[in-house]
Amino acid sequence: MQDYIIDRVINEAIYILKTKETVRDMSSVFSVSKSTIHKDLAHRLCEIDSCLYDDVREILNQHKLERHIRGGKATCEKYRLLREQALNKDNKKNNKNKQTKRLWF
- For 13-30, how does the pLDDT look when each residue is reduced to its tens digit (9 = 90+)? 999 999 999 898 999 999
pLDDT, tens only, 42-76: 999 999 999 999 999 999 999 888 877 767 777 88
pLDDT band with cut points at 50, 70 and 90 for residue 89? confident
Question: Most distant CA pair in the chain: distance in Å?
Answer: 80
End-to-end alpha-carbon separation of the chain, Å? 80
pTM for the predicted model, two decimal places: 0.64
Kindly give, in sequence order, each residue whose CB lies less than 8 Å from that of residue 24, ignoring residues fewer than 6 positions away: 34
- For the packed helices 50-104 and 3-19, what is the interaxial angle rounded to 10 degrees? 60
- In terms of phi and psi (left: phi > 0; alpha: psi -120 to 50; beta: otherwise), the region of 32 is beta
Give the pLDDT confidence score for residue 68 in this predicted structure: 72
Give the pLDDT confidence score for residue 65 in this predicted structure: 85
Task: Round to whole Å and give the CA distance between 29 and 79.
Answer: 27
